[in-house]
Structures are given as structure tokens and as C-alpha cells.
């Protein structure tokens, strides 16, 4: 058993201990579900009153008693009807609902109708811990005394089964670890993550906003956010230009017929917004740019000499996400994908992937992302309905992607059943400075769409052939990338990304004109500069600029106007130093150009 599996068992057991403790404090509590999650666990409760943070130490105290008494996890198998009766007698309505689902559908998962893949059990297992009885498969520790160290971390509201039509339950989050040192390290990391939360920093640094009148999941980039977006795109365009990408622009809507042609209508509709009528035709907001790019490919006849043909666009798309799943910029309903569609011949696939991987690595380097791995999503041979094309084609595609990863010595893991309906894919998952995972670049192979849509090229022998299409999301989503960069850098972006690179601070009213002249000079060389000419103390202005995470602060007083040197203060450094103007210009230009 791996360490992670052992930890999960302890955390799962700790969730039972927490539920038993809650039952002691609230004998009328009703219980939802209590799974383990990354780094911890939670349990959902219906309670006679709202919990406050002051309740957590009391619940922890009750948990400590149970741990001290080494209460046993007593498992028992029951017939499903017997279990229904037991939980009815205990007035545990949510558990009864789960049991009835198990009985009727064979699963407690909320799934679409018509999926009858599960065997319906006639027996279930229950576990007792003191007076607390839970419907649970296990496994658990032998007794509560084996829960080493734990801590309850927060309270939140959560709809029963994630559905806003259902009652709102109270969720308590907790964590459990092998020893105090690990718990302390985790809590410290968590505190740091809270400070870096892009929703909090994004507001403070005026990077983006949401507005109720505009709608959920529809972010507005403020001027500082727009700079980040432009800089990311500039970096990507530079990398693309070295290789030979062709950039296009296409509309955000299209006729729904287009998506019927591609098969998205059948396979992807739940992620699309409702169609709307224009004249007497039906249109949709596009959920992706691929179909538009296919039409560009089809616009003229192509020969093997034209391939690889690389069409790129930062394409804004619209996807339906459940409101409960939206979170800042990380999950939105309007997103811009730095997309490309690369049309290649079968013998160009490997070289193109080599190139793509190199491009992704260049981008990661600019963002100072050193730690990443790839998840290789493959098909599920048992699911016949979901996928286009046959087993042999799938196997061939998956094998070649794996070979390329091995050849490039990239850490990867296989994810069977995770592939899209048209082909296997590589997803780059990066770890930020706090070790948290962010999904970034996607390189998806597509052996099928060209054939489906009749996209062809004339091969060397003069015969028509279908190109293979590679879908590339460079970062995947610009919005998520901005969120990641805010948290990764804690808002203190490198100079090339900083919305304001230089803040010029006037000492007194007499110096303002000189500050503005200097600002114009810096603007001329392409730097982003602001003058703070407010009637405040220099100390105050420096504190403000530090809070805005501006990398360079220039203080201009009598000495600077008279002399030949500038007084510079760097972000996070208390000391001011003197430097000749030209030297400073050379320095900042080099940092911007090299993204250092």
C-alpha cells in the first residue's frame, strides 16, 4: 500500500470520527456524505443551527475523546432492505436516499438516465463508531486511536448532491497527517495559498472583476489584466513565429449545422449554450475554434507541400459550466483558448510533436515553471458508444504518443478512459511554487475529423489523402493561466509581465513636471510607467507602489533633477541605489526582452 493510500484511509477514518463527534454535540444531526479529498476530508451535515468557526475547536475536542478512547470501527453486512429500515429508524433521510439509489440504479452517483452499467447489490456494508452508523464500503483503520494528528480547517455551505434545488447542508473540512510536523507544514502552505488566492489578489491588484449584471463566470479583464493577456499572447506569438504558424481570426458564433457536421452536436452538447435563431437559421456560441479552422483548411486545395499547415488563433469560446463549479478565473463560461490546429501527414506526426513539446517547454521557462508532468488520456476499450473509430486506430495513436513522451524523457501518467471521442491527448500539468497542480497545455491528436469532414491533401503520388489534425491549446485557457500566474508569483510578476514596470514618485510639487518628462522617455522605449504625483509623503507612495507589486520605483527630488543619476528602489528591497539613466534603460530593456 502506498503512503498516499494509507493517508487516505486515515483521513477517511477521521471523517467518521468527526461525524461521530458532531453526533455527540448535535444528537439530531443528519448526515450527507463524507469523502476524502486532496490533503484531507469533509463531511456534510444538516444541523439545527448554523455552525461558526468557534464550533470547530469544540468538535475537535469531542474527536480527541473518541481518538483517546480508541473506539472501534465495527463493520457489518446488511441486506439492502434491512439497511433502509435501520437508517429510517435513525431518521437519516439522506442515507435512505442513497440506499434507494443503490437499490434501483446500482450506484449512488448522480448520473444521466439510461446508464445501467452497475450491478445492483442486495447487500451493503455499514460501519459503527460509537453511536454513529454510516453506510460505507471502507476500508478504515482498526480503531480511532490510529488517527494520528488532525485539524478541522473550515466550514462551508454545500447543496446536497451538488444540486441547487436540494437543501443546503453544512460542510466541515478537515485534514489528518502522520505527525505534527507534516500537519504544520500543510497548514503553513495553506495559509500561503490563501494569501496568493487569485480571486483575492486579482481584486486587490485590479486585474479582473465580475459583475452580477453581466453574469456568472463571465470575467472582465481590467487594464492590468489586459496587459497580462497581451504579454502571454506576445510570448506565444514569438515562439510560434520562429516555427511558422499562420494566425487567423474567426467569429464567435456559427450555425448549429456546423457542429452536426463535426459530431460535437452529438457528443459535446451539454457543454454548449442553448442555440438561438438568426433569420430562419439556428446558431450557437462556439464552444471551441476547431470547426472554424477546418473550414479554413477546406477553403482551397492542399498539397503535401503545404503540410504541416499550422493555423493559430486566440479564440474566445463559450462553455456551459455549472454555477457551483465556477471559481474566479480558473473556471469560467467565457474563455480564450490559445488554440492552433496543425494539419500533418502521418509521417510528420512525430516531428511535429517534438516541436510542440519544445515550444511548450520554452513557454514554461518564461513563466518560471520548472515542475510538470504529462497525463496521457487514452480510450476505454469497454465504452463502445462514446468513441469514433476502431480499436486498432486508437491503439496505434496511443502507442505513438507514448513513444514520443519516452523519447523526450518526460514524466507521464496514463489516464485510461479520459480521451475525447476523436482521439488520445497529452495534457501538461504544472506545479506552481506551492506545489499545486494546474492543467495547462493540451496537445490532442485527431485521426478522425479530416476523414469525417472530407479534408484532404494531394500526397506525393498525386492521390488524395486525409491529414492528421493536432489540436493545440498552448496554455489551454488564457483566463486560467492568468489565475495561475497570479498565484505562482503572488502578484509580484517578473518585469516583462508586470502591468506597471516603473513607478515614478515625485518628492514635491516642483518635481512633477520632471517626473512626467521622464515618464515620456520611458514610454518611448516601450516600458509601462506611471507617475505618482499625489500630495503625499514619499514613504506613503513607496508603500502604495510596493502593494501594487511594481518592480521599479524612482524617487525624483531636487538631487535627481540636478544630478545625472536616478534613485531606484526595487520591489521588496528596502535600500535605494543610484544608477545612470542610460544604464537603467539598458537594464530594464534587457529584462523585458529576455523575460528574465
CA dist 187 and 195 (Å) reads 12
Find the shortest distance in angstroms from Cβ 223 to Zn ion.
31
Instruction: Give the interface segment with Zn ion, choosing from 202-210, 315-323, 471-479, 559-567 (CB under 5 A).
Output: 471-479
- Cα–Cα separations (whole angstroms), residue 460 to 232, 372, 492: 38, 39, 53
Nearer CB in complex with Zn ion: 295/492: 295
471 contacts Zn ion (rule: CB under 5 A): yes
Nearer CB in complex with Zn ion: 124/136: 136
CA dist 422 and 22 (Å) reads 48
Applying the rule CB under 5 A, the residues between 406 and 445 that interact with Zn ion are: none
Find the shortest distance in angstroms from Cβ 396 to Zn ion.
21
- The set of residues, in sequence order, having a beta carbon less than 8 Å from that of 359 and lying 6+ positions away, is 239, 240, 243, 474
Instruction: Give the interface segment with Zn ion, choosing from 25-33, 131-139, 193-201, 258-266 (CB under 5 A).
Output: 131-139
Site string for Zn ion, 134-163 (x = CB under 5 A): --x---------------------------
CB 124 within 8 A of CB 78: yes
290 contacts Zn ion (rule: CB under 5 A): yes
Applying the rule CB under 5 A, the residues between 49 and 68 that interact with Zn ion are: none
Nearer CB in complex with Zn ion: 341/569: 341
Find the shortest distance in angstroms from Cβ 20 to Zn ion.
11
CB 398 within 8 A of CB 375: no
Strands (E), 80-139: 123-129, 132-135
CB 417 within 8 A of CB 378: yes
CA dist 563 and 554 (Å) reads 14
Instruction: Give the interface segment with Zn ion, choosing from 22-30, 132-140, 323-331, 551-559 (CB under 5 A).
Output: 132-140
Find the shortest distance in angstroms from Cβ 144 to Zn ion.
12
| Residue 391, C-alpha cell as written in the block | 480499436
Find the shortest distance in angstroms from Cβ 127 to Zn ion.
5
Nearer CB in complex with Zn ion: 152/515: 152
Instruction: Give the interface segment with Zn ion, choosing from 203-211, 235-243, 284-292, 546-554 (CB under 5 A).
Output: 284-292
Instruction: Give the interface segment with Zn ion, choosing from 38-46, 289-297, 304-312, 323-331 (CB under 5 A).
Output: 289-297
Instruction: Write the Ramachandran bin of 595: left for phi over 0, alpha for psi from -120 to 50, otherwise beta.
Output: left
**Number of Cα atoms under 13 Å in the Cβ half of residue 492:** 12
Nearer CB in complex with Zn ion: 70/590: 70
Contacts 24+ apart (CB under 8 A), 267-272: 267/386, 267/421, 270/320, 271/319, 271/320, 272/318, 272/319, 272/320
**Count, residues near Zn ion per rule CB under 5 A:** 3
Alpha helices in 205-277 (DSSP H): 223-243, 256-262, 264-267
Instruction: Give the interface segment with Zn ion, choosing from 347-355, 428-436, 468-476, 489-497 (CB under 5 A).
Output: 468-476
124 contacts Zn ion (rule: CB under 5 A): no
Find the shortest distance in angstroms from Cβ 449 to Zn ion.
9
Q: Which of 190, 230, 191, 236 is nearest to 207 (CA)?
A: 230
Nearer CB in complex with Zn ion: 9/355: 9
CA dist 449 and 470 (Å) reads 10
Find the shortest distance in angstroms from Cβ 311 to Zn ion.
10
Nearer CB in complex with Zn ion: 338/532: 338
Find the shortest distance in angstroms from Cβ 36 to Zn ion.
10
Find the shortest distance in angstroms from Cβ 113 to Zn ion.
29
Nearer CB in complex with Zn ion: 471/511: 471
Nearer CB in complex with Zn ion: 33/518: 33
Applying the rule CB under 5 A, the residues between 495 and 514 that interact with Zn ion are: none
Strands (E), 410-497: 412-416, 425-431, 437-446, 457-458, 464-465, 468-473
**φ and ψ of 104, to 5 deg:** -90, -40
Find the shortest distance in angstroms from Cβ 34 to Zn ion.
8
What is the rounded radius of gyration, in angstroms, for the C-alpha atoms of the chain? 29
264 contacts Zn ion (rule: CB under 5 A): no
Instruction: Give the interface segment with Zn ion, choosing from 141-149, 360-368, 464-472, 509-517 (CB under 5 A).
Output: 464-472
Nearer CB in complex with Zn ion: 151/471: 471
CB 313 within 8 A of CB 466: no
| Residue 548, C-alpha cell as written in the block | 501594487
CA dist 554 and 81 (Å) reads 76
CA dist 253 and 289 (Å) reads 10
159-196: b (≥16 Cβ within 10 Å) or e: bbbeeeeeeebbbbbbbbbeeeeebeebeeebeeeeeb
Find the shortest distance in angstroms from Cβ 426 to Zn ion.
14
Nearer CB in complex with Zn ion: 268/373: 268
Nearer CB in complex with Zn ion: 83/588: 83
Find the shortest distance in angstroms from Cβ 377 to Zn ion.
15
Find the shortest distance in angstroms from Cβ 74 to Zn ion.
12
Instruction: Give the interface segment with Zn ion, choosing from 61-69, 285-293, 435-443, 458-466 (CB under 5 A).
Output: 285-293
Nearer CB in complex with Zn ion: 12/549: 12
CA dist 477 and 443 (Å) reads 13
Instruction: Give the interface segment with Zn ion, choosing from 282-290, 416-424, 483-491, 505-513 (CB under 5 A).
Output: 282-290
CA dist 95 and 162 (Å) reads 16
Residues making contact with Zn ion (CB under 5 A): 136, 290, 471
Amino acid at each position: 500500500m502506498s503512503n498516499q493510500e494509507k493517508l487516505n484511509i486515515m483521513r477517511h477514518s477521521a471523517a467518521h470520527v468527526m461525524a461521530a463527534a458532531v453526533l455527540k454535540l448535535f444528537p439530531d444531526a443528519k448526515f450527507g456524505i463524507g469523502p476524502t479529498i486532496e490533503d484531507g476530508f469533509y463531511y456534510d451535515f444538516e444541523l439545527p443551527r448554523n455552525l461558526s468557526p468557534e464550533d470547530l475547536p469544540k468538535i475537535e475536542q469531542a474527536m480527541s475523546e473518541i481518538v483517546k478512547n480508541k473506539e472501534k470501527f465495527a463493520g457489518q453486512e446488511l441486506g439492502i432492505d434491512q439497511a433502509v429500515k435501520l437508517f429510517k429508524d435513525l431518521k437519516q433521510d439522506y442515507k435512505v436516499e442513497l440506499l434507494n439509489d443503490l437499490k434501483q440504479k446500482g450506484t449512488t452517483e448522480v448520473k444521466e438516465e439510461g446508464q445501467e452499467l452497475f450491478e445492483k447489490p442486495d447487500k451493503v456494508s455499514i460501519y459503527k463508531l460509537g453511536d454513529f452508523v454510516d453506510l460505507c464500503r471502507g476500508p478504515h483503520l482498526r480503531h480511532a486511536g490510529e488517527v494520528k494528528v488532525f485539524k478541522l480547517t473550515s466550514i462551508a455551505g454545500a447543496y446536497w448532491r451538488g444540486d441547487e434545488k436540494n437543501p443546503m447542508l453544512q460542510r466541515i473540512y478537515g485534514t489528518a497527517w502522520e505527525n505534527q510536523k507534516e500537519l504544520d507544514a500543510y497548514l503553513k502552505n495553506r495559509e500561503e495559498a490563501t494569501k496568493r488566492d487569485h480571486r483575492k489578489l486579482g481584486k486587490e491588484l485590479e486585474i479582473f472583476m465580475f459583475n452580477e449584471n453581466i453574469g456568472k463566470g463571465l470575467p472582465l479583464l481590467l487594464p492590468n489584466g489586459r496587459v497580462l493577456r497581451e504579454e502571454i499572447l506576445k510570448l506565444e506569438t514569438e515562439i510560434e513565429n520562429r516555427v511558422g504558424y499562420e494566425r487567423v481570426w474567426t467569429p464567435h458564433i456559427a450555425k448549429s449545422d456546423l457542429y452536426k457536421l463535426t459530431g460535437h452536436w452529438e457528443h459535446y452538447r451539454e457543454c454548449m449554450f442553448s442555440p438561438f435563431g438568426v433569420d430562419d437559421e439556428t446558431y450557437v456560441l462556439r464552444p471551441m475554434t476547431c470547426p472554424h479552422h477546418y473550414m479554413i483548411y477546406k477553403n482551397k486545395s492542399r498539397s503535401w507541400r503545404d503540410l504541416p499547415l499550422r493555423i493559430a488563433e486566440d479564440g474566445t469560446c463559450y462553455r456551459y459550466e455549472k454555477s457551483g463549479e465556477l471559481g474566479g478565473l480558473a473556471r469560467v463560461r467565457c474563455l480564450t483558448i490559445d488554440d492552433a490546429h496543425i494539419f500533418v501527414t502521418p509521417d510528420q506526426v512525430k516531428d511535429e510533436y517534438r516541436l510542440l513539446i519544445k515550444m511548450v517547454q520554452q513557454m514554461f521557462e518564461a513563466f518560471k515553471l520548472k515542475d510538470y508532468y504529462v497525463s496521457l488520456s487514452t480510450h476505454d476499450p469497454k465504452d463502445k458508444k462514446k468513441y469514433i473509430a476502431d480499436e486498432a486506430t486508437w491503439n496505434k495513436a496511443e502507442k505513438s504518443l507514448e513513444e514520443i513522451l519516452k523519447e523526450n524523457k518526460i514524466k507521464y501518467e496514463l489516464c485510461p478512459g479520459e480521451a475525447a471521442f476523436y482521439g488520445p491527448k497529452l495534457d501538461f500539468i504544472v506545479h506552481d511554487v506551492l506545489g499545486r497542480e494546474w492543467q495547462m497545455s493540451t496537445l490532442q491528436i485527431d485521426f478522425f475529423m479530416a476523414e469525417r469532414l472530407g479534408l484532404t491533401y494531394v500526397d506525393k503520388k498525386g492521390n488524395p489523402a486525409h491529414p492528421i489534425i493536432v489540436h493545440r491549446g498552448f496554455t489551454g485557457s488564457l483566463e486560467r493561466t492568468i489565475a495561475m500566474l497570479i498565484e505562482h508569483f503572488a502578484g509580484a510578476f517578473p518585469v516583462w509581465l508586470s502591468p506597471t514596470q516603473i513607478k515614478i514618485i515625485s518628492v514635491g510639487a516642483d518635481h512633477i513636471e520632471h517626473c512626467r518628462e521622464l515618464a515620456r522617455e520611458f514610454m518611448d522605449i516601450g516600458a509601462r510607467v506611471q507617475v505618482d504625483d499625489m500630495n503625499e509623503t514619499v514613504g506613503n507612495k513607496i508603500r502604495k507602489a510596493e502593494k501594487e507589486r511594481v518592480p521599479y520605483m524612482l524617487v525624483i527630488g531636487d538631487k535627481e533633477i540636478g544630478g545625472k543619476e536616478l534613485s531606484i528602489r526595487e520591489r521588496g528591497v528596502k535600500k535605494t541605489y543610484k544608477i545612470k539613466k542610460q544604464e537603467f534603460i539598458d537594464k530594464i530593456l534587457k529584462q523585458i526582452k529576455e523575460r528574465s
